[in-house]
C-alpha cells in the first residue's frame, strides 16, 4: 500500500544503502534529520491507532527500542502515542548511540506517565524480563532497522521474542518500524530469529528485503510513508537522484494500467495484433485454452492455437474465439503472427522442440513458458532481446542448473543470470515476481511485481499470464510489457479473491476479472479491500 500514489505509475525500490545515501543528500540540502524522525514516528502512530481500532486512549502499548535511529523512531512514536492518550511502556535495549535517538529519549523522559526500562541494566541487576510480563494491547518493534545484518543474538533476540512470548490471551497487533527486526533489508534473509509484524511502516521507499524474504507473512501489510522527502523524489525533482544506485529496481503501481493502448474508433481485428500459441496436448488441452482465452480477453485481435489435431475439437469448445490449426500444417505453412507464445501444456518430446524452432521467428516478440522452458533447458540457446521467459523457481533451477535453494535465496541474482544466459527478458514467477532485463548500459534493470494474491497459487494461473503478456506485446504500448502483464494479472487475482474466494478462484474467473482490474487501475472503481 502506497499513500497518495494516484498520479504515479511506478515506485522505486531502494536498498538500505541507497536509502541512506538519498537521506544524506537531503540532510546536505538542509533537511533536519530530527524532522524526518518526527514524521516517521507520526506515520507509525497513525498505523498503530488504526490497529487499535481507531482510538489510542487508555490502550497499553509496549515500544521495544534499540540503540540506533530505529530506536529513536520508537522513542518519538511513544511520545506521540502518549500525546493521543495512550499508555506507553518503553523498553530500551540499552542507552541510545545516535544523536537523534538520544534527543528523543531525553524528550520522552520528560513525560512521567511513560514507563521506561533499560533492559540491559535491569538484567545486570539480576532481574529478568518475565518480571515485566503483562498484557499489552499492541507492540511496536523499533529494535533494529534496515541496515542490520547478521544473526540476532543474546538480549536483542530475547527482546525480539517478547511480542510472541508475552501474549496471554489473544494475539496483540505488532507494528514494525521500517522493517521487522531480524529481516535483512537488502536480501530478505532471516539467518536467525525475527519479529512477525502485522503492519510494517517503511519510510520513503520500500526496501527489497520486504518483498524478497521467504517469510513474507512476518512483514504483514506494508505501508510506505512519506516522511517529508517525496517532494524531492525523482518524479517531482532531481534533488535526490543517485548517480549510481546500488539496485536499479522499481515496482509498477495499479495506475500503470492507464498505459494500456486505447484503440482507434476505426480499429479492426488486424490492427490489434495476431498471437500464435503453440500449446496443449491430449490431457493438457486446458492449458492451451486458458492461454488463448487470456490472450483474447487482454485484447489480442486474432489468436490462433497450433496444436495436435486430436485436441482441436476440445479447444474449439473451450476457447471458441480462437482459431486452431493442426501443428503439422502450421510448421509447413506458419500462420502470420505478431507475437509467438509457446509452452503451456505442450509436452517435452524432442519432436516438439523441432516444431518450436520451425514456428519461432527471433525477430518478433515471443513468450516462453512451462514445457518450452524445460525443452530450452535441454537445448540451451540465446533467444534474443525480443523474447520473454516466464519460469517459476523450479523451472529456473533447471534452466540455470542451480539448486532450488539458491534460486530462492537470491531471486534477483537468479533473474539476472537467466537474462545473461539466454539473452532475453526474464520473469521469475513467485509470490513476488522478479522481472529483469538488460538496460542500455548492459546492467540489470529490475521490476518487482508486488501486487497479487495467493488465490493464484494453482494450475492455470501461469497459462493466463502467458496469454496476457502475449496480448500486451501486440500493443507495444509500454516499455516494460512483462512488468505490466504481471501487474494486470496480479490485480485480477486480488479482485478474483475478493469476488470468488482465495481457495475457489478458477483461471476462467481470473480472466473474467481483467476488465475490473483495468477499471481499478484507471480509477473508475475502488481497489479491492484486500489491497486497501
Pair 218, 150 in one domain = yes
Confirm whether 260 is domain-assigned.
no
Confirm whether 329 is domain-assigned.
yes
Pair 170, 229 in one domain = yes
Q: What is the CATH number of the domain that holds 297?
A: 3.40.1190.20
Band (231; pLDDT cuts 50, 70, 90): confident
Nearest to 290 by CA among 155, 436, 466: 466
DSSP 8-state assignment for residue 90: E
Count CA atoms within 13 Å of residue 467 on its CB side.
33
186 near 209, Cβ under 8 Å? yes
**447: three-class secondary structure by DSSP:** strand
Confirm whether 51 is domain-assigned.
yes
Share of the chain above pLDDT 70, in %: 97
| Residue 195 structural domain | 10-250
Pair 294, 437 in one domain = yes
Q: What is the pLDDT of residues 142-173, one digit of tens each?
A: 999 998 989 999 999 999 999 988 776 678 99
Q: What is the pLDDT of residues 432-472, one digit of tens each?
A: 999 999 999 999 999 999 999 999 999 999 999 999 999 99
Question: What average pLDDT does this structure show over 427-431?
Answer: 97
Question: What average pLDDT does this structure show over 492-511?
Answer: 98
Domain C-terminal end among 250, 281, 311: 250
Pair 328, 181 in one domain = no
**15: three-class secondary structure by DSSP:** coil
Gap between the Cα atoms of 72 and 49, Å rounded: 19
Domain C-terminal end among 250, 279, 306: 250
DSSP 8-state assignment for residue 27: H
pLDDT of residue 1 exceeding 50, the answer is: no
Gap between the Cα atoms of 183 and 352, Å rounded: 44
For residue 463, count other CB atoms closer than 10 A to its CB.
30
Band (4; pLDDT cuts 50, 70, 90): very low
Pair 185, 316 in one domain = no
Domain C-terminal end among 196, 220, 250: 250
Q: What is the CATH number of the domain that holds 97?
A: 3.40.50.10260
Confirm whether 266 is domain-assigned.
no
| Residue 225 grid cell | 510513508
pLDDT value at residue 397: 98
pLDDT value at residue 478: 61
pLDDT value at residue 2: 40
pLDDT value at residue 168: 64
Confirm whether 401 is domain-assigned.
yes
Strands of 60-65's sheet, edge to edge? Answer: 115-118, 87-92, 60-65, 138-142, 174-177, 199-203, 221-225
Gap between the Cα atoms of 338 and 276, Å rounded: 8
pLDDT of residue 73 exceeding 90, the answer is: yes
Pair 171, 114 in one domain = yes
Confirm whether 22 is domain-assigned.
yes
Q: Which residue has the cell 488441452?
A: 285
Pair 86, 211 in one domain = yes
Confirm whether 265 is domain-assigned.
no
Q: What is the pLDDT of residues 300-314, one digit of tens each?
A: 999 999 999 999 999
Pair 240, 295 in one domain = no
pLDDT value at residue 117: 95
Phi and psi at 202, nearest 5°, equal -105, 150
Q: How many domains does the chain have?
A: 2
Pair 245, 279 in one domain = no
Question: What average pLDDT does this structure show over 235-255?
Answer: 85
Pair 317, 421 in one domain = yes
Pair 296, 243 in one domain = no
Pair 218, 275 in one domain = no
Confirm whether 41 is domain-assigned.
yes
Interior angle at CA 164, CA 163 and CA 169, nearest 5: 95
Amino acid at each position: 500500500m502506497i499513500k497518495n500514489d494516484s498520479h504515479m505509475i511506478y515506485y522505486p525500490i531502494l536498498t538500505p544503502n541507497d536509502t541512506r545515501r538519498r537521506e544524506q543528500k537531503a540532510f546536505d540540502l538542509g533537511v533536519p534529520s530530527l524532522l524526518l524522525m518526527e514524521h516517521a514516528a507520526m506515520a507509525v502512530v497513525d498505523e498503530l491507532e488504526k490497529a487499535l481500532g481507531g482510538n489510542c486512549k487508555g490502550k497499553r502499548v509496549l515500544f521495544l527500542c534499540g540503540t540506533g535511529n530505529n530506536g529513536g523512531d520508537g522513542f518519538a512514536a511513544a511520545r506521540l502515542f502518549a500525546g493521543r492518550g495512550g499508555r506507553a511502556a518503553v523498553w530500551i535495549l540499552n542507552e541510545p548511540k545516535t544523536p537523534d535517538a538520544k534527543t528523543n529519549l531525553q524528550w520522552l523522559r520528560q513525560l512521567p506517565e511513560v514507563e521506561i526500562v533499560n533492559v540491559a541494566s535491569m538484567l545486570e541487576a539480576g532481574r529478568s524480563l518475565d518480571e515485566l510480563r503483562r498484557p499489552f494491547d499492541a507492540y511496536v518493534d523499533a529494535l533494529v532497522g534496515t541496515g542490520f545484518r547478521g544473526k540476532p543474538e543474546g538480549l536483542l533476540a530475547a527482546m525480539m521474542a517478547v511480542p510472541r512470548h508475552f501474549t496471554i490471551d489473544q494475539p496483540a497487533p505488532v507494528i514494525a518500524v521500517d522493517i521487522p527486526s531480524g529481516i535483512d533489508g537488502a536480501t530478505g534473509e532471516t539467518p536467525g530469529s525475527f519479529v512477525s509484524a502485522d503492519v510494517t511502516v517503511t519510510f520513503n521507499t520500500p526496501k527489497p528485503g520486504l518483498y524478497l524474504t521467504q517469510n513474507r507473512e512476518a512483514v504483514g501489510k506494508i505501508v510506505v510513508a512519506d516522511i517529508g522527502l517525496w517532494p524531492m523524489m525523482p518524479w517531482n525533482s532531481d534533488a535526490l537522484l543517485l548517480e549510481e544506485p546500488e539496485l536499479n529496481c522499481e515496482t509498477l503501481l495499479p495506475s500503470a494500467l492507464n498505459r494500456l493502448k486505447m484503440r482507434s474508433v476505426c480499429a479492426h481485428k488486424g490492427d490489434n495484433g495476431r498471437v500464435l500459441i503453440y500449446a496443449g496436448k491430449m490431457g493438457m488441452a486446458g492449458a492451451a485454452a486458458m492461454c488463448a482465452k487470456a490472450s483474447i480477453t487482454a485484447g489480442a485481435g486474432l489468436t490462433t492455437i497450433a496444436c495436435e489435431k486430436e485436441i482441436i475439437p476440445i479447444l474449439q469448445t473451450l476457447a471458441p474465439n480462437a482459431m486452431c490449426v493442426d501443428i503439422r500444417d502450421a510448421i509447413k505453412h506458419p500462420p502470420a503472427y505478431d507475437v509467438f507464445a509457446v509452452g503451456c501444456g505442450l509436452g517435452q518430446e524432442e519432436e516438439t522442440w523441432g516444431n518450436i524452432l520451425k514456428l519461432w521467428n527471433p525477430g518478433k516478440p515471443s513468450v516462453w513458458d512451462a514445457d518450452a522452458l524445460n525443452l530450452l533447458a535441454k537445448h540451451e540457446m540465446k533467444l534474443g532481446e525480443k523474447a520473454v521467459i516466464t519460469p517459476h523457481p523450479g523451472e529456473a533451477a533447471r534452466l540455470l542448473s542451480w539448486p532450488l535453494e539458491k534460486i530462492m535465496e537470491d531471486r534477483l541474482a537468479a533473474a539476472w543470470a537467466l537474462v545473461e544466459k539466454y539473452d532475453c527478458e526474464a520473469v521469475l514467477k513467485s509470490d513476488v515476481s522478479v522481472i529483469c532485463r538488460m538496460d542500455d548500459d548492459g546492467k540489470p534493470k529490475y521490476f518487482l511485481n508486488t501486487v497479487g494474491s495467493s488465490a493464484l497459487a494453482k494450475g492455470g494461473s501461469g497459462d493466463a499470464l502467458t496469454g496476457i503478456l502475449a496480448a500486451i506485446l501486440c500493443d507495444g504500448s509500454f516499455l516494460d510489457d512483462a512488468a505490466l502483464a504481471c501487474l494486470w494479472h496480479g490485480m485480477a487475482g486480488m479482485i478474483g479473491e475478493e469476488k470468488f474466494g482465495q481457495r475457489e478462484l478458477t483461471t476462467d474467473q481470473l480472466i473474467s476479472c481483467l476488465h475490473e482490474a483495468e477499471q481499478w487501475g484507471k480509477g473508475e472503481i475502488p481497489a479491492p479491500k484486500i489491497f486497501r
